[in-house]
Chains A and B, each alone.
Chain A
């Protein structure tokens, strides 16, 4: 959590300096990705919205990989095609983020249906298999999309082992929850879909962990979906394109930062826990080490070249169609003619 907080701070500042085009922090919500990721197994597939980079971090996505994606350089696994923070890793079972809100929700059901069939087939064949769930993150704003309804209803009728994880942080950009829904949050909708649900303190990493651990057991035992609503507060701006003090007060943000910061709460636990007994100095050293590592990764990412221009054209289809090949040739000839303009 310290690593994520420091990375968010440094990356946000780098965006402010114009080093890359965009960034989104998850300040104030760090307990959610780490609480959830620690309760999952590596075979579980994660479909996220965009404010859950901690899951990837826990699973081993390196500071270099985060930096390379934000800098859109030749090492970016996404070949520089998507905006910063749109991470993805096949190796870490983390599907690539897209900007469209809610679209991942019905997709998570398809993933879970595939996992369920694979597990059943393996059992039929007498093979050893690791059962798996899909876990789908979204914000409370996203719970108003059509696909929230599409996905939840589908998962319940198809009986799929999927965990829907709602980060309720109070705001969708400038829209407060008062303007988002009139019911009792997001969890209240679960019974209507015939679905189990849990609401947790999203700033308590142990509560999040326990909820996901139990939800996973429930989903696999019953081949059924479950909804978790984690109550939190978005302490940062929505993104680097947003100044959140135009629609909420500094006092409100300060209140949550002072009273319920998930990182401070975890640090307090570690300080007072008899097996850990960590001190403020221990934490300071950790912060300094992380900062150094982040800056090192960023400097390295900054120096790497951009991806090859061929990557503009590949992967649209499995094989490049002749018409696209022609467009590629046309662009290459054009650039050859005006090499100094590009």
Chain B
């Protein structure tokens, strides 16, 4: 399966196993602009899989209201993460605080909002954004970003079944590009847990989402050229994030690179850096490096220069290891 078929498969299972579940958003009825919802309306009918008007706040509000009623499962789609901002009030002021503010009388834990995110080669300002850090600053919601088809299916099923509202960000560049063996059966990947993709001893390299493909290449390059052993971690869930997994790794390697496509200032990398320096101060052998997008809007023709590509990460890995060696 590629990423969109894995998502489609997870949605199929969710609709089949939970009669209260509904799937909706802009253009989902004919299968979605990325084909993630194809054949679902034919299979489950227009009452459970349907189009909404072009209005993100509607989608989020509908999801919250539906989920507030006796545990209904609402799976909404925002066509691009870049267009989530009109729904921000519903997400930040309503969805995230619904349980807390009512003293747990009411909740909207059945909400999952899926949205394509990240660079795609030619997406310009509004088809490329990675808005995760805007969301991680908001207590009460879970933010998830899978790195490929297999993780995506398990994480999406966990998100849909989670008792907390989840924003599920799908790296759109991988919808067709990434192909993996994905189990056809129903399975879940636990939320709030990072995954160590590769064990290593010299440096911890941390990322999430589609960007891990870039980081894998950077780790390969470091191994081939410089014999550096990288421990590569996929955070998978950004809030609440797996602090223990990351700090265990950094306590072992003594070095950390955090890399994400979103702009560097106040990106989620900053949160990781601050936490790791507090928890692992005495283990750190060199300054933590962030390899991120620039503090500019996401540019069209300059995309190749903007993104934190494998060479930028390779350089950072080398610098961090050399700086530690020079200090010893």
Contact = CB atoms under 8 A, between A and B. Distances in A.
A322 B243 contact: yes
A149 to B, nearest CB: 8
B106 A96 contact: yes
A147 interface: yes
A22 to B, nearest CB: 15
Contact of B106 (A90, A150, A154, A314): A90
B100 A110 contact: no
Interface stretch (A7-15, A24-32, A78-86, A289-297): A78-86
Contacts of A229: none
A76 B69 contact: no
A117 interface: yes
Nearest to A153: B53
A111 interface: yes
A98 B106 contact: no
A203 interface: no
B94 A157 contact: no
Contacts of B327: none
B103 A315 contact: yes
Interface stretch (A56-64, A100-108, A175-183): A100-108
Interface in A284-342: 311, 314-319, 321-324
A302 to B, nearest CB: 20
A314 B101 CA distance: 11
Interface in B29-79: 47, 50, 52-53, 55, 57-58, 60-70, 72, 74
Interface string A133-168: 010000000000011011101100110000000000
A171 interface: no
Contact of A318 (B22, B62, B86, B163): B163
A45 interface: yes
A77 interface: yes
Interface in A254-303: none
B124 interface: no
Contact of A316 (B53, B100, B163, B241): B100
Nearest to B139: A316
Contacts of B101: 78, 81-82, 86, 96, 98
Interface residues of B, number: 50
Contact of B69 (A45, A77, A96, A149): A45
B104 interface: yes
Interface size grouping (class) on chain A: 35 or more
Contacts, number: 157
A322 B240 CA distance: 8
B313 to A, nearest CB: 27
B289 to A, nearest CB: 23
A114 interface: yes
Contact of A77 (B22, B50, B105): B105
A120 interface: yes
Contact of B66 (A47, A103, A111, A121): A111
Nearest to B50: A158
Interface string B236-265: 000011011000000000000000000000
Given A98-B101, A153-B53, A88 B192 contact: no
B107 interface: yes
A82 B47 CA distance: 36
A174 interface: no
A47 B65 CA distance: 10
Nearest to B60: A106
A153 B106 CA distance: 25
Nearest to A114: B69
Contacts of A111: 65-66, 68-69
A100 B304 CA distance: 41
A89 interface: yes
Given A110-B65, A110-B67, A153-B53, A96 B105 contact: yes
B164 interface: yes
Nearest to A97: B101
A317 B95 CA distance: 11
B129 interface: no
B103 A76 contact: yes
B63 to A, nearest CB: 6
Most buried by B among A98, A110, A147: A110
A112 B162 CA distance: 23
B55 A153 contact: yes
B318 interface: no
A164 to B, nearest CB: 13
A81 B99 CA distance: 11
Given A98-B93, A110-B62, A154-B52, A323 B243 contact: yes
A115 interface: yes
Given A115-B69, A146-B86, A317-B240, A106 B61 contact: yes
Given A103-B89, A103-B94, 13 more contacts: A78-B105, A81-B101, A108-B65, A110-B69, A113-B65, A114-B66, A118-B69, A118-B70, A147-B61, A147-B89, A153-B55, A154-B52, A323-B240
Interface of A: 45, 47, 76-79, 81-82, 86, 88-90, 95-96, 98, 100, 103, 105-115, 117-118, 120-121, 134, 146-147, 149-151, 153-154, 157-158, 311, 314-319, 321-324
Interface of B: 19, 22, 47, 50, 52-53, 55, 57-58, 60-70, 72, 74, 86, 89-90, 93-94, 97-107, 109, 139-140, 142, 162-164, 192, 240-241, 243-244
30 contacts: A45-B69, A47-B65, A76-B103, A77-B103, A81-B101, A88-B105, A89-B105, A90-B105, A95-B102, A95-B106, A98-B94, A107-B64, A109-B61, A110-B63, A110-B68, A111-B65, A114-B65, A114-B72, A153-B58, A154-B62, A158-B52, A311-B103, A314-B104, A316-B139, A317-B140, A319-B163, A321-B192, A321-B240, A322-B243, A323-B240
Report, nearest first, the 3 A-B pairs whose CB atoms are least far apart. Answer: A110-B65, A106-B61, A321-B240
